[in-house]
Amino acid sequence: VIGQGRLAATTDYAICREADVILIAVDTPVDPATHRPQYTALRGAVSALGQYLQPGTLVIVESTVAPRTMLDVVAPLLESTSGLSATQEVYLVHCPERVMPGRLLANLKNVSRVVGGMTPAAAEMAVILYRHVVQAELDVTDCLTAEIVKTAENAYRDVQIAFANEVALLCETVGADVYSVRTLLNKSPGRHMLMPGAGVGGHCLPKDSWLLVSTAGDGFQPRLIPTARNINDSMPLHMVDLVVEGLHEAGCQIAGAKVAVFGYAYLENSDDTRNSPSEVLIKRLQELGADVRVHDPFVREHDRRLDEVVQGADCVVIMVAHDAYQQADLSEWYSLLKTPVLIDGRHVIAPTSARASGFVYRGIGQG
């Protein structure tokens, strides 16, 4: 593709003058303190291309944005920098991407898309473009609806995970097994409880919930979504508590303990480390004085021999359900560890197997 001149990279926005279609796919983070959108990259891209924009161009924002961003931010900025009307002289569309790490090309072809047009004509123009690639449904709507759909679908999943995590914490407290509870609960019609775990990471879920509620104004006070975010953000720190408990049972203190952390990516069998729950866990363990070692076969800086990471450690903490950990040899781990403590944040190792192998065991949702 590159050799044929069909794909090229450039920082020169002047090329937009010749473009019939312009897609904007830039980072749209939220401020860690205020949870408000940070649109530096989005504003920069729109401003830079605006001065070269020609009438009749199709401009599509694929970045996930807060409700009313297209109307209140993108359209006015595009008009002020180009001198063109966003509703009469260009075709302006919001078609948020729906892709996952490791499934990018398959998702582009096979997952439906919401096509939100600033005008019906703009949406129809975008459908003609996407039909060349997307084999699934293309649902035409307005920009505001498309903005809410994308942020709400990720907030919905975040809330579901938070529910699973809250049930897991309850089970730990009362002495139940959350995975048995989940299996039986999901036999009830219309129920589908997700898996609890050691935290929620990635580029989308930790921020899109905040994007959804960030522009509603004083007339709306979000309650459920911020609570869910707080629950999910707390899970890596809860894992730290389990580490401290497990070490204490084994007669060790956290200060000076050697802790082997398995997994640094946010997703199993992926190298994506954005908003990694392991990062939060490791920082807190180090603050408590632990000597932390990290293994992850998919992350270059942590790709090393597993036995070297386990050797002489006081505790193994499973943060990611990579296949390499699913195929664990517990007897080998036991022989390499100085202190046989196993903390499982992803239900990789059966508690009965761990305890039968001689480990002090703690796991999310295991009372």
Backbone angles phi, psi at 78, to 5 degrees: -65, -40
Task: Tell me the residue type at 22.
Answer: I
| Nearest to 245, CA basis, from 360, 346, 154 | 360
Q: How many residues does the chain have?
A: 367
Question: E-assigned strands of 32-176?
Answer: 58-61, 91-94, 113-117, 138-142
What residue type is 278 in one-letter code?
A: S
Q: What CA–CA distances, in Å, run from 120 to 13, 137, 140?
A: 28, 17, 8
C-alpha to C-alpha distance for 99 and 177, rounded to whole angstroms = 33
User: Do 100 and 274 meet the contact criterion of CB atoms below 8 Å apart?
Assistant: no
Distance CA 132, CA 295 (A): 42
Write the single-letter amino acid at 114. V
* CA-angle at 247, arms to 245 and 249, nearest 5°: 70
Q: Which two tokens stand for residue 5?
A: 């001149």
Write out the catalytic residue numbers. 150, 204
